[in-house]
Structure formats: structure tokens, C-alpha cells
Amino acid sequence: MQLAKDGQLKHFLTIEGLSPLLLEEILDRAEQFLSVKSQNKSPVLRGKTVMNLFFENSTRTRTTFELAAQRLSADIVSLDIRNSSTSKGESLLDTIRNLSAMNCDMFIVRHQSSGAAHFIAKHCPPHISVLNAGDGHHAHPTQAMLDMLTIRQYKKDFQPLKVGIIGDILHSRVARSQIHALTTLCTGEVRVIAPRTLIPIGIEHMGVNVFNNMEEGLDDLDVVIMLRLQKERMQGALLPSEKEYFSLYGLTEERLKLAKSDAIVMHPGPVNRGVEIDSRVADGPQSVILKQVNNGIAIRMAVMAMTMSGQTGELAR
């Protein structure tokens, strides 16, 4: 569903199943767009209309998609879901059919239900591209790709790296997309580090090593990726308390010393200081969190340009 007949991106719904060459092309294209300043727009999507469909709250993702569209010269419309017809009982399919009739060219979809972006891509007209900005527990592919871009900028080659993803793996769509991206790019070792209650059953089949002990998992890491506790998706008492969680799994300056001395610290946000990470680490010299945010604009520009390449000709290349 994601690829056109010529093998180029038609939609960007998940990283799973995409080739290493295609992921590298996204990263390379994003590097090119990093040089596009806010005052110097690219003409790639001039005359195209992009519609932000955020059925779930977001700050960074929504804003960076808006900025990406503007810098590609597209017209962008952000739908206010709280006042849309879906809040009045209209079905998702009817909403998509009505929006499709408005002659837009791209839907950027964030939804609380896993598979929503795939559903929309399946039912929208063939001229519309759909980008997944996060769906339920399933995937957040552009977040994972901006993380890959950040890692490549600091570490160059993925193959020698040991990467640890720490925190609420069970509820994290970001973690799933990160794992697919890292394994597709042939990363040397990918670890997930969390209490047993926050590790999905069978995650080892995704090609990762599982650690329940924070100190053991941090040993000799090149990249430390922290995740927030997604309390809004938790059902039942999976953790005794945030205080105890931080005492066992919070990233402190002392714990960071267990990783390599040049290890980078990442976080997809929002950051819960004192819960999964200490402020001195989040703001410290090894943190690249703000770099991730900046890279998010370039990655989203790259994906938007690539998915629309069939309609915009060589300007998108």
C-alpha cells in the first residue's frame, strides 16, 4: 500500500517492510532540506494542499508538519477536531470522504486508534497521499526517521552501534517504529530496557535484546533513547509509583556514566523531568533532544516531497 508502481513512496504509514535504501533516501533528502531556511522556501509543493487531521493532541509533531508544509510552499489546513463533524457522531469514513471532495493532495493523520492511517489510505482517492503522524500503539514513522537522522549525524554508521531504548516500550508507537528503523539499517545491537510490566510479550522476535536491569542495559551503549511513561494508555497498576520508577529506571548523570563516554541521549518528547530523566541529563552536554526537534522539520519535508514526487515531477527529487 505504501509504494507506487515505480517503487517510490505513495504513503508513509509505517517503517515496517521498507527497504534500507528507501530509508537512506529519506535521510539523504532530509539532509538536503536542512539547508532550506525558513525565509527561503522550496517550491516542491507549490499549488498543493496539505490537510492536518489530528484526532489526538500534539504540539511538536503538528507544528513541525505545519512548518514543513509551509517551507515546501504548500497550502496547509489544520482541522480543529474538537469542532469537526466527528465530534457530532460522523463516522471516520464519512469524514474522509467529505474532506477528499475538497480537492486536497495530502492527509497528515494522527489518531488514537491503531491502524487509522492505513484505513484512511485505503479509502481515500488515489491522488491523495497519507502520512501517519502516530496511530495508537502502532507506529510513528516520521518520529523514528528524525531519530535515525540525529543518530547518523552524530555516529555516522549504524552497524557498529549499540542502541538502548528505555522506558514504556509496551505502549510506545515510537519504540516500535524505532526498532523497525534500527534493525532495517543494520544497527549492531538494539536493546529495550524496562520493567517486565512494560515489555511487550514476544518483542525479542523484532530483533532486540531485552534487559530488565537498567545498569546492565546501559553498559557500553552508544545511543541512549529515553521514553516517557504513557499514563494515558495504561490500564491497571503496571508501576508502583513514579518515584520508584525513577529510582530504578530514571536516567541520571551517574547512570549515564555506564554508557560510552561519547554516548548521545535522546528523547522523543514530551520530557517528564524527574520521572524518566534527570534535568541535568536532559540539559547536559550529551543531550541531543533539541537537535531531534530541529531534524523533525527536515524529515517531514523529505517524506512529504517523496510521497508527492509522482505529481510534482523532478522538482521533488
How is the chain split into domains, by residue range?
A: 20-139+294-316, 141-292
Within 13 A of 32's CA, how many CA atoms are on the CB side? Answer: 16
Give pLDDT tens digits for 239-279. Answer: 667 888 999 999 999 999 999 999 999 999 889 999 999 99
Query: How far is 72 from 79, CA to CA, in rounded Å?
Result: 20
Mean pLDDT of 110-139: 94
State how far the Cα of 254 lies from the Cα of 84, in Å rounded to an integer: 49
Over residues 208-229, mean pLDDT: 97
Question: How far apart, in whole angstroms, are the C-alpha atoms of residue 136 and residue 140?
Answer: 9
Q: What is the mean pLDDT of residues 203-227?
A: 97
Kindly report, residue by residue over 280-293, the tens digit of the pLDDT.
999 999 999 999 99
Cell numbers at 208, concatenated: 532486540
Does the pLDDT at position 36 exceed 90? no
Cβ 75 vs Cβ 50: under 8 Å: yes
Q: Which of 50-64, 101-115, 218-232 has the highest mean pLDDT?
A: 101-115
pLDDT for residue 60: 85
The pLDDT of residue 110 is above 60: yes
Torsion over CA: 138, 142, 145, 149 (sign) = negative
Please tell me the CATH code under which domain 20-139+294-316 is placed: 3.40.50.1370
Q: What is the mean pLDDT of residues 70-98?
A: 80
In the predicted model, what is the mean pLDDT of residues 49-64? Answer: 89
- Given pLDDT bands bounded at 50, 70 and 90, which one contains residue 59? confident
pLDDT at 89 over 50: yes
50: cell is 496539505
Cβ(118)–Cβ(1) below 8 Å: yes
Identify the band that residue 95 occupies on the pLDDT scale cut at 50, 70 and 90.
confident
For residue 230, what pLDDT is reported? 66
Name the β-bridge partners of 226. 166
What's the CA gap between 287 and 266, in Å, rounded? 6
**Domain 20-139+294-316 shares a fold with domain 141-292:** yes
Local confidence band at 146 (pLDDT 50, 70, 90 cut-offs):
very high
Residue whose C-alpha is closest to residue 286's, from 316, 252, 312, 310 = 252
Q: Is the pLDDT of residue 233 over 50?
A: no
- CATH architecture designation of domain 141-292: 3-Layer(aba) Sandwich (3.40)
